[in-house]
Amino acid sequence: QVRKIKDITALMTSEIPTGENKISRFGVEEYLASGVIKLELQEYRGFVFRVMFIRKMRWTAVRPQKLVFEIYPHYGIYILDRLENFMKQVDAWYLTLGQQPQAPPATQ
């Protein structure tokens, strides 16, 4: 029996095998968790950046959106912007170089 213990926070990590569309390795981890946050690397126009997707957060209203973030030593995780806005900024930067923007890739 799994019980929630008052004032206790447990953090569990799980990897997703490369090339898999599953959210966890064994398929049960997300059912045990109160929150599921997927972290991944994405590439767009030669930029590689970190993306966070809050898939599930019990007892909290969360908009389904992808967020670009960075990890800074001594500070932790810092949310930079929504993925759509970040890609628009990259496209605007490319326009200043005189190159045509491309359609952003489809997001999940």
Q: Is residue 17 part of a domain?
A: no
- Which pTM value belongs to this model? 0.72
The burial of 83, by beta-carbon neighbours within 10 Å (0-12 exposed, 13-18 middle, 19 or more buried), is given as: buried
Sorting pLDDT into bands at 50, 70 and 90, what band is 103? low
User: Amino acid identity of 86?
Assistant: F
Q: How many domains does the chain have?
A: 1
For residues 72 and 80, the answer to whether their CB atoms sit within 8 Å is no
**Model pLDDT for residues 33-54, shown as the tens digit of each residue:** 888 888 999 999 888 999 999 9
Q: Is residue 79 part of a domain?
A: yes
Percent of the chain clearing pLDDT 90 (strictly above): 34
Q: Is residue 61 part of a domain?
A: yes
- Residue 78: domain span: 38-96
